[in-house]
Amino acid sequence: MVEVDPSSNPRWVVAGMWTGPFERGDFHRAEAIFGSGLRLDDDGVHVVPASTTVDRCVYARDGGVWYASNSLVVLLGRLGARIDLRFDHRDWGESMALGVFNYVRQFHVLHPRLPTMSQLIFESLRIDARGSASFHFRDPPRTFERYADYVKQFGHALTTLHANATSSSRARPMRSVTSVSRGYDSGAVTAFVTALEPKLPSWTAKRSNTRIPRLLQGVMNADVSDDDGSDIASQLGATPHYLDLELSTVPLELEAWCWAAAQISPELVFHSMLTDADRHQQPTIFWAGHVGDGAWERQLGEMGLSGQIVRGAQSGYALIEARVRYGVIEASVPYLFMRSVAAINRVSRSDEMKAWQLGTDYDRPIPRRLLEERGVPREAFGFGKKAVAQDYESPQGDAFRAAFFDQTQWTAVTEQLYRGVNLGLYFAQRASDFVKSGGDRGKLVARARRFGKRALSSVADLQRQTFFLSTHLLAEKYAKR
């Protein structure tokens, strides 16, 4: 899915789209890019990651030589390096949630000369002729007078991105897909994108990932199980497709790519979307709704309004390596103008938006107005925070599980013991949170902790071993390609 500068003296390669004409290849100056690119100019080499925190580039310096890639697996393989199993890699993998100023750049590897490699998130890296590095943000500040002004600027940016992605100057113009749930964000994105490309596929899941029993949901006065967004997708003019929630048959290599992004839980629920993308000759744009909470939530605190893009979860980031392998560009467009989030929030809280403000802990007036004005009933969405991804620590597909037990010290028995203890500790903590919050859904989300999955990591770390094996197997396979 890589596009190369078609000129006689090529200056750039890119796997993505940006807010500017494709022919110019000026993604290093664009306000927003989804995907990544490498550009050679008179002032140096530009390594340009996506304008999001759910994507990255990785790089390393070996003396006077710099190496950069949009894939951790490829960089490890080409340099003959491996993830260092002696270190806890959650810190850098989860740090994308800390925002564009505070993410952890370096991670430990095993290599004859390189003790660490680095990740690059949101900001671009410029390496000058002397080999000196500098980092740059490209997004200018934005202001919005009213809702219509925000929608106009947002829609214009999407139109520009779509024109870039489908340009006839590309060797392979891109195809589009979205996802739709019964929350706010993915539906709002689909509403925008179907105006540009009607009838596009839109992926949805019939149920959420909740472990909360139905009886307890009744106490909370919230149905957090039903996440089927097919009716919403149809109303918006998209074509619904269901995600396959059965994981036992996921192929070994596909699952390994889903684990290889970082030491975090993989988003295996999207395996059918990845398989579908792999069947097409065209690259696939996945127009997604990540960071919609940070962009569109009415009640944002000081940190949320700071423009640092601090998040409460790592959703989206776990698919980085799988997207590269299966030809998918992540386009979480709520990131557009996110460094000017205070201006967006003023629109959300304005008097003109009162008819679409619910006054709850889950209140996003901009997507609510957008969807309701497109004919989606008010009661159909936005009344309970849900998700479809599960929290995993070890392989789920039969093929990868067999390889995992064959190539590590773990057995099915020790795996279950480990997971059982961690799950018990997690539920004990969540029960305490439920009592302290009085069953309030918003407060429960705010109290969410990583306590459970870290409890036994100083003794043994199942998730770290799975991450290590995934990157090791794939790096070995792709080292010389």
Find the distance separating the first CA and the last CA of the chain, reported in whole Å.
Answer: 15
pLDDT given at position 219: 45
pLDDT given at position 75: 97
pLDDT given at position 454: 65
pLDDT given at position 14: 98
Look at phi and psi of residue 44 and say left if phi exceeds 0, alpha if psi is from -120 to 50, else beta. left
Q: What CATH number belongs to 147-380?
A: 3.40.50
Residues 11-46: tens digit of each pLDDT? 999 999 999 999 999 999 999 999 999 999 988 999
pLDDT given at position 367: 98
Residues 258-304: tens digit of each pLDDT? 999 999 999 999 999 999 999 999 999 999 999 999 999 999 999 99
| CA 134, chain centre distance (Å) | 25
Q: Summarize the confidence of residues 6-10 as an average pLDDT.
A: 91
pLDDT given at position 386: 56
Q: Are 362 and 385 in contact (CB under 8 A)?
A: yes
- The structural domains of the chain, with segments of one domain joined by +, span 3-136, 147-380, 398-478
pLDDT at residue 444 tops 70: no
For the ranges 48-52, 125-129, 312-316, 363-367, which has the lowest average pLDDT? 312-316
Q: Are 188 and 181 in contact (CB under 8 A)?
A: no
pLDDT given at position 273: 98
Residues 215-240: tens digit of each pLDDT? 444 544 455 556 899 999 999 999 99
Residues 125-174: tens digit of each pLDDT? 999 999 999 999 999 999 999 999 999 999 999 999 999 999 999 999 99
- Which of 185, 166, 160 shows the shortest CA–CA distance to 32? 160
Q: Summarize the confidence of residues 328-353 as an average pLDDT.
A: 98
375 compared with 212, residue with greater pLDDT: 375
pLDDT given at position 443: 52
For the ranges 126-135, 182-191, 209-218, 309-318, which has the lowest average pLDDT? 209-218
pLDDT given at position 387: 59
pLDDT given at position 226: 63
pLDDT given at position 481: 54
Percent of the chain with pLDDT over 70: 90
Question: How many CA atoms lie within 13 Å of 6's alpha carbon, on the beta-carbon side?
Answer: 8
CB atoms within 10 A of CB 342: 14
Residues 404-441: tens digit of each pLDDT? 999 999 999 999 999 888 878 877 877 777 777 766 55
d(CA 474, CA 465): 14
Burial of 128 (0-12, 13-18, 19+ CB in 10 A): exposed
Q: Summarize the confidence of residues 307-330 as an average pLDDT.
A: 96
Total-model pTM:
0.91
Q: Summarize the confidence of residues 187-207 as an average pLDDT.
A: 95
